[in-house]
Amino acid sequence: MDRETMLTMLRDMLLARAFEERAAQEYTKGNIAGFLHLYPGEEAVAVGVIRASDPGDYVVSTYREHVHALVRGIPPRAVMAELFGRRDGCSRGMGGSMHLFDAERRFMGGYAIVGETYPVAIGIAYGIAMRELDDVVICFFGDGAVNQGTFHESLNMAALWRLPVLFVCENNRYQIGTEIHRHSAVAEVHKRACAHGMAASRVDGMDVLAVHRATREALQRIRSGGGPELLECETYRFRGHSMADPGTYRPKVEVQSFKEKDPVKLAIRETLPYYPSAAEMAAAGPDSIAALTRHASDAGHLDDTALADLQQAVADTVEDAVRFAEQSPEPTLDDAWAALDCNRRGEVLL
Ligand SMILES: Cc1ncc(C[n+]2csc(CCOP(=O)(O)OP(=O)(O)O)c2C)c(N)n1
Ligand SMILES: [Mg+2]
């Protein structure tokens, strides 16, 4: 992986964590209303998948979608303002946390209904196939969404018509408080795709590099006409299901064991430079010392100062987004009418 992609993904993950933790604080202050589903712990999935996609690809996500929107390029200000229900939000303050949307960036929405993302995704993919375009639709869903009828209906149609869709399961092992083995007869989600003759694989969803690689390969196959695929990412959320859920149903030891695999910490470790010890250099033999030294400095992506700078930049971005959201006005009734009118005129999104 090239240095720039790796650093971009690290920045994405740091921003994602800082943004979501700040959203939690703003929620408790009363600045964000309704439900708020946060993403800490799962960052490697949205970041790895979306950074492996092309700007022309479409993204359809669930209600846990703030980070997907940020990685897709929706400005943090517009996402935070939407969470605050303000007019400068990406859905003009009328969607809120679960309904972020940006047609220009092909971010086709967060959806609050479990299992709603599949039919939306295959509808878009059908449009792409009819027009013989190269784009792919990335359809995110949770492990709890695989027992909805729409899952099998949509996978069947996608496979039958070889639609360009990458179905990405964010398997965080829980459907609110119900552990996967209590809600699914087949808990290995990727195995379900074989019922529709669809290629599927599973990846460590705490490892951003692995997610990125698996997605890139899958997208290449789909783009070259290989038909839809399913990618199961095994991940974990560190917080409760939503801000209304203290998450007490999960054993402490389970939460702790996943926190030790924190994807953000893993990503930082990946990018910190590794300098071989004198003994390792000596063991490499005299001819290799120069090569090894050069390799070590080439791979020295980041030192402690650069990392601190990156963290400060991210904190500043989040602070700026909150200030912006606070100052943005609330939407008016006229805004609501304008949005309705736009739908009546038959808005063309694709
Ligand atoms: C059709 C439908 N049924 C029930 C709900 C209530 N509900 C909201 S989130 C959720 C759990 C979904 O879990 P999962 O798909 O694993 O996603 P996660 O929250 O873990 O990201 C449920 C049952 C809903 N929103 N829609
Ligand atoms: Mg889940």
**Among the bound ligands, the one closest to the CA of 62:** 1
10 CA → ligand 1 middle, Å:
29
Going by pLDDT thresholds of 50, 70 and 90, the confidence category of residue 162 is very high
Atom of ligand 1 nearest to the CA of 172: 20
Q: Which residues contact 187 (CB under 8 A, 6 or more apart)?
A: 180, 181
Report which ligand 1 atom has the smallest distance to the Cα of 64. Answer: 21
Q: Is residue 160 part of a domain?
A: yes
pLDDT digits (tens, 9 = 90+) for 55-97: 999 999 999 999 999 999 999 999 999 999 999 999 999 999 9
Mean pLDDT score, 243-271:
90
| Angle between helix 208-221 and 263-271 (nearest 10) | 90
What mean pLDDT comes out for the span 37-42? Answer: 96
pLDDT at 336: 86
In a domain, 96, yes or no: yes
Residue 206 lies inside a defined structural domain of this protein: yes
For residue 244, report the distance from its CA to the centre of ligand 2, in Å. 16
How far, in Å, is the centroid of ligand 2 from the Cα of 58? 22
Residue 350 domain-assigned (yes or no): no
Q: Can you give the pLDDT at residue 347?
A: 63
Is 336 a domain residue?
Answer: yes
Calpha distance 171→140 (Å, rounded): 10
Residue 335 or residue 86, greater confidence: 86
The structural domain count of the chain equals 1
43, 63, 114, 241: residue to mutate for ligand 1 pocket, most atoms within 8 A of CB: 114
Domain that holds residue 332: 3-271+302-343
Q: What is the pTM of this model?
A: 0.90
Q: Do the domain assignments include residue 294?
A: no
Evaluate whether residue 296 is within a structural domain: no
Query: Are β-strands 58-61 and 107-110 bridged in parallel, bridged antiparallel, or unpaired?
Result: parallel
C-alpha 311/C-alpha 119 separation (Å) is: 39
Supply the CATH number for residue 209's domain. 3.40.50.970
Q: What is the mean pLDDT of the chain?
A: 91
Share of the chain above pLDDT 90, in %: 78
Q: Tell me if 27 is assigned to some domain.
A: yes
Pocket test for ligand 1, best of 36, 175, 232 (most atoms within 8 A of CB): 175
Q: Are 329 and 86 in contact (CB under 8 A)?
A: yes
